[in-house]
Amino acid sequence: VIPAAFAYIRAGSLDEALRALADPEAKAVAGGHSLIPAMKTRIARPSLLVDLRDLDLRTITVGDETVTIGALATYDEVSRALAGVSGVDALRECAASVGDLQVRNAGTLGGGVAHGDPASDIAAGVLALGASLELQAAEGTRSVAADDFFLGPFTTELRQQELLVEVSVPRTGPAAGSAYTAVEDAASGYPLAGAAVVVGREGDAVRSCRIAITGLTGAPQRLPGAEAAVVRDGVGADIAAAIADLEPATDDADYRRHLAAVVIARALRQAWERAGERSNA
Ligand SMILES: Cc1cc2nc3c(=O)[nH]c(=O)nc-3n(C[C@H](O)[C@H](O)[C@H](O)COP(=O)(O)OP(=O)(O)OC[C@H]3O[C@@H](n4cnc5c(N)ncnc54)[C@H](O)[C@@H]3O)c2cc1C
């Protein structure tokens, strides 16, 4: 449990961090709650750690249409800042679901997204809410839709010499609601199955639905088949049937698939109720 030798710099500016990351053996560190354990087991062996903590990237701005969150905002800061903010309930609930308070005080939203952990809570929220991720390199910035970001286990669209600097999350309109529900591993708090759902409502009909799961497959992902079933059959849709072909990447696949149906149905019901409360408000 002792990491391989490495050099360390505490970057004073984004430019300095990006210059240091030009070294292909360098790695950024934010909260360190995923990277440091991986270094201790030598799964990760960066020769240079570029500490991001002094960068001015923790601002959370609540706009009328969008919430923008600096990559270094911690999960705890996110869940507190979003208390009482309508249209982003799923994201707040994802942030509040991460680990325990110590983990939420250190772990960052940006680290949680960038790490590409197949069981990241926050990934489900950014996928379901249709967030856009701002990636910065020395040459400039690019925006990537959350839908295109998570590629596989610990593999994302992020390049070695890029940093995730900001996450923009659209707020759902008044006739829509969102929620996140997970069944967690008792020891770590990581989701065995987690689901973030966004549902648009028109009276008793479902107008739109986005469902993202985490904890079961190689990467957090949307479930277009289940989304279509909910739009077609309403909130009572047979979720278990709609996800029958889902293949969890675990050796308890039937159990995980069952959990997925349970958490999706719960989150859907909660999102639906929220959409109703908001349209009646
Ligand atoms: C005991 C424990 C329990 C946990 N439970 C949960 C849980 O229930 N749910 C959950 O989702 N997570 C859980 N985690 C993980 C925790 O949320 C991590 O802190 C988080 O996933 C990573 O954020 P970080 O800021 O610590 O990233 P770091 O560990 O600093 O970095 C992780 C990776 O992301 C890269 N990175 C970090 N920030 C950026 C950036 N801005 N741009 C580009 N790359 C970047 C790093 O280079 C590294 O490769 C747990 C961790 C621990 C130790």
pLDDT more than 90, % of the chain:
94
Q: What value does the mean pLDDT of the chain take?
A: 96
Q: Is the pLDDT of residue 152 over 70?
A: yes
Q: Is 55 in the pocket of ligand 1 (CB under 6 A)?
A: no
Q: What is the pTM of this model?
A: 0.96
In ligand 1, the atom with minimum distance to the C-alpha of 165 is 41
> How high is the pLDDT of residue 279?
66
- List the Cα angle 97/106/166 in 5-degree steps: 80
| pLDDT tens digits along 224-276 | 999 999 999 999 999 999 999 999 988 999 999 999 999 999 999 999 999 98
| pLDDT tens digits along 32-50 | 999 999 999 999 999 999 9
| pLDDT tens digits along 172-193 | 998 999 999 999 998 888 999 9
> How high is the pLDDT of residue 1?
80
Choosing from 27, 58, 97, 98 the residue with most ligand 1 atoms within 8 A of its CB, the one to mutate for a pocket test is 98
| pLDDT tens digits along 123-142 | 999 999 999 999 999 999 99
> How high is the pLDDT of residue 281?
63
> How high is the pLDDT of residue 226?
98
